[in-house]
Amino acid sequence: MVQPEAVKEDVGLPFLDFFFQLRDEGLEIGLRDLLDFYQGLEKGLANDLNHLFLLGRLCFVRKVGNYDLYYRTFQRYFRGIHLPPVAEGDPRLLQTKAFAEWLSEAFARGELSQGDIWRLSRDELIRRFWETVKEQSEAHHGGNRWVGTGGSSSFGHSGFAQEGIRVNGPSRSRSALHVFGDRRYVDYDSSQGLTGENMRQVLGQLRHMKRTGLATMLDMQATIDKTARNGGEIELVLTPEQRDRLRLLVFFDNGGSSMLPFVAITQLLFSKIRSSFRDYSAYYFHNTLFKNVYSDAQRRAPVPLAKILQQPSDTRVFVVGDACMAPEELVSPYGAQAWEDSDPEPSRCWLERLKARFQHMVWLNPIPQDQWNRVHGSWTLREIASLVHMEVLSLGGIQRAVDYLSQPAG
């Protein structure tokens, strides 16, 4: 990548290093977005810091999950305020760099003494931290980027912004538009830098086209054909529309520590399934399937598997799990490790029932395929693979799984 500083000096575009900082934070910003942004500046859309903030967000941020990231980066770049990536009230604040920095600065300024640290409760420290942050955020001064502080401000670097950006003097909308001091979007922050565009494309190939519903679509070719045969007397031929009628069931193994290393990739898969399919149901289980699965990730709301088995048999099924467990979980009565799953029938029975009902069923396993014979729990993995078509949870594996699921029944 081109060094941002070098580019800035050469071309003299304002805020170019801000753009590169956003990219470094993981926002996918393209040249086109940047050009939009400069066009907006040229049109004079950013006549104060609030509007600049909004223009930048419109040009650079597409997903609400990244709004807070943008907010933090903006505050850091333009105003020198370092915000922690957590919401107010989140105890994880104590582990953030911003909190540590604030603490040492408060020491240095003498606002806090060594004794205070012991005397004050944790909550009180946190409260004081947020107080400082709020004061900074709401104040419209300070910062080393916006109102020129000598050379460190990139504003004024070029003639580009002269018309569009006003630094001093009143602005008619400043009082009305509060974009700072209020982090409304921190709850949406997903902090997931993963991109899964190719996963989405692969999943997008999974279709199940069926002619369904009333015959309402005019079959032009057949109509002309029939009409001709009918001696020119019009004979309309109607046919039902072809629609995608794919139903999808997804079972996620979210129990057990053996799945922990794969949380990120499982989440990515889930989010892509959510965006690619309209008609899907997701359930959760621990290690393997028993009489109940759960409709929530906390596994508190049980759903009988017998009920799910009543869904149409052309439903496509994904099971996502490492398939590694103690052998008795799979084959012994009352073998479940989690006692709320306790079931007189071994899990194997349930898997067989599922397989008998849904021919289109694939087990996606996040363990790399070359380890399938070696991992702890490989016995159950192979048992399950002999029962259910198993693919590795990788792009290629998903592609093969989609191909497998797209085969006609039979």
Question: Where along the sequence are the contacts to other proteins (CB under 8 A)?
Answer: 28, 30, 32-33, 36, 39-40, 43, 45, 50-51, 54-55, 58-59, 61-64, 67, 173, 176-179, 184-185, 188, 197, 200, 204, 218, 220, 223, 227, 232-234, 236, 241, 243-244, 271, 274-276, 278, 298, 300-302, 340
Task: Tell me whether residue 298 or residue 407 sits nearer to other proteins (CB atom).
Answer: 298
To the nearest whole angstrom, how small is the minimum distance from the Cβ of residue 44 to other proteins?
9
Residue with tokens 């029939």: 226
Task: Tell me whether residue 31 or residue 409 sits nearer to other proteins (CB atom).
Answer: 31
CB-based contacts of 387, cutoff 8 Å, min separation 6: 348, 351, 352, 355
Task: Tell me whether residue 120 or residue 222 sits nearer to other proteins (CB atom).
Answer: 222
Task: Tell me whether residue 130 or residue 379 sits nearer to other proteins (CB atom).
Answer: 130
Q: SS3 string of 57-77?
A: HHHHCCCHHHHHHHHHHHHHH
Question: How many CB atoms lie under 10 A from the CB of residue 292?
Answer: 22
Return the exposure string of 375-388: e unless at least 16 CB atoms fall within 10 Å of the residue's CB, then b.
Answer: bebbbbbebbbebb
List 320's β-bridge partners, or say none: 252, 364
To the nearest whole angstrom, how small is the minimum distance from the Cβ of residue 131 to other proteins?
20
Distance CA 399, CA 203 (A): 8
To the nearest whole angstrom, how small is the minimum distance from the Cβ of residue 50 to other proteins?
8
To the nearest whole angstrom, how small is the minimum distance from the Cβ of residue 71 to other proteins?
12
List 242's β-bridge partners, or say none: 211
To the nearest whole angstrom, how small is the minimum distance from the Cβ of residue 201 to other proteins?
9
Radius of gyration of the chain (CA): 29
DSSP one-letter code for 383: H
To the nearest whole angstrom, how small is the minimum distance from the Cβ of residue 182 to other proteins?
8
Task: Tell me whether residue 36 or residue 345 sits nearer to other proteins (CB atom).
Answer: 36
Task: Tell me whether residue 19 or residue 99 sits nearer to other proteins (CB atom).
Answer: 19
